[in-house]
C-alpha cells in the first residue's frame, strides 16, 4: 500500500508545562482508515490541527502526498489544503447559520474554483446542481437545498458536513469525533455512510474518536494516544491480542464491542 500521509516524530508544546504531543510517528496509506483513539486531553485534536496546517509542530515532519506539509506557508499551504478536508464533531458549529444548505455544501468549491472532481464534471456549470449531487451522495434529497442548518436534524446536518468535506474529493478526510454529538441510532448510519464513501472514492481517513467500538468498525489500523504519547499501534484484527498495552486493554474493556 502506497503511503499518503507520514507523520514523523511530531512534538508540540503550548508551554513548558503543557506538552500536547511527544515524538508521534505513524503513516496512513492510500485508501486506508487509521483510527486514532484516546481520552480527552490525549492530544488527538492537536494532531488534527497540525495535519491540517492550522498549527505548526515544534519538531518533526508531516508529509502529505509527497509534500512536506509542515513547511508550507501562504498560497502554497492554501493550495495543498485542498487535498485534506475535515468533518468536525459538531455540525451546528461547523456550518454557517446564514447560508442555505446548497451554498454551505459548495463553499470549498468556491474557494478552489480550479478544482472539479470527476463525479461533479457533468454539472460543473451549475453550483446548485453540484450541491444537489453532493447531497444525493450522502443520502439527502433536493428538498433540503434551500433550508438552513437550524431547520435540519443533527444527523442531517452531519451529512451536510460530510458532503462539504467530499466536495473537493480530497485524498485525506479527517473525521474528528464525527458521531459523538448524535443519537446512538444515527451514529451507526453516519459510520456506514462514511464507510461507503471511503470505498467509493478510495479516500484515506484519519478517524479521531474516544469510542473504541466505532474505531474498530471503521478502521484498518488503530493508534492509541495517551497524554500526548503514542502508546500502541496495531491492525484492527489485533485488538484483542495479548500483546496490547495495558491502556489499550482498559479502553477495550470499557467499550461495548
Assigned domain for 122 exists: no
Q: Domain total for the chain?
A: 1
Assigned domain for 101 exists: no
Assigned domain for 226 exists: yes
Assigned domain for 130 exists: no
DSSP calls for 142-177: GGGTT--GGGS-HHHHHHHHHHHHHTT--SEEEEES
List the CATH number of the domain containing 209.
3.40.50.300
Q: Report the pLDDT value the prediction gives residue 90, as an integer from 0 to 100.
A: 84
Assigned domain for 112 exists: no
Q: Report the pLDDT value the prediction gives residue 256, as an integer from 0 to 100.
A: 61
Q: Report the pLDDT value the prediction gives residue 257, as an integer from 0 to 100.
A: 61
Q: Report the pLDDT value the prediction gives residue 226, as an integer from 0 to 100.
A: 94
Average pLDDT by consecutive 10-residue portion of the chain (257 residues)? 95 89 97 94 91 93 93 90 91 89 95 92 94 97 96 94 96 93 89 95 94 93 96 95 91 78
Q: How far is CA 6 from the centre of its chain?
A: 16
Assigned domain for 80 exists: yes
User: What domain range is 63 assigned to?
Assistant: 3-96+171-254
Grouping H, G, I as helix, E, B as strand and the rest as coil, residue 125 is: coil
Amino acid at each position: 500500500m502506497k503511503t499518503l500521509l507520514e507523520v514523523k516524530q511530531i512534538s508540540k508544546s503550548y508551554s513548558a508545562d503543557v506538552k500536547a504531543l511527544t515524538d508521534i510517528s505513524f503513516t496512513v496509506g492510500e485508501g486506508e482508515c487509521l483510527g486514532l483513539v484516546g481520552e480527552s486531553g490525549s492530544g488527538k485534536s492537536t494532531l488534527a490541527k497540525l495535519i491540517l496546517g492550522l498549527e505548526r509542530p515544534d519538531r518533526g515532519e508531516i508529509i502529505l502526498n509527497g509534500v512536506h506539509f509542515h513547511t508550507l506557508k501562504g498560497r502554497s499551504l492554501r493550495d495543498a489544503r485542498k487535498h485534506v478536508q475535515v468533518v468536525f464533531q459538531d455540525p451546528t458549529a461547523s456550518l454557517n447559520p446564514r447560508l442555505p444548505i446548497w451554498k454551505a455544501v459548495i463553499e470549498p468549491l468556491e474557494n478552489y474554483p480550479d478544482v472539479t472532481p470527476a463525479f461533479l464534471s457533468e454539472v460543473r456549470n451549475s453550483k446548485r446542481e453540484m450541491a444537489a449531487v453532493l447531497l444525493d451522495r450522502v443520502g439527502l434529497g433536493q428538498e433540503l437545498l434551500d433550508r438552513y442548518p437550524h431547520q435540519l436534524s443533527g444527523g442531517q446536518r452531519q451529512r451536510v458536513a460530510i458532503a462539504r468535506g467530499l466536495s473537493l474529493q480530497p485524498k485525506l478526510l479527517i473525521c474528528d469525533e464525527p458521531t459523538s454529538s448524535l443519537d446512538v441510532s444515527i451514529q451507526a448510519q453516519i459510520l456506514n455512510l462514511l464507510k461507503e464513501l471511503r470505498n467509493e472514492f478510495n479516500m484515506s481517513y484519519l478517524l479521531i474518536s474516544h469510542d473504541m467500538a466505532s474505531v474498530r468498525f471503521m478502521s484498518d489500523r488503530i493508534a492509541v494516544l495517551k497524554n500526548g504519547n503514542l502508546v500502541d499501534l496495531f491492525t484492527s484484527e489485533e485488538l484483542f491480542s495479548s500483546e496490547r498495552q495495558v491502556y489499550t486493554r482498559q479502553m477495550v474493556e470499557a467499550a461495548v464491542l
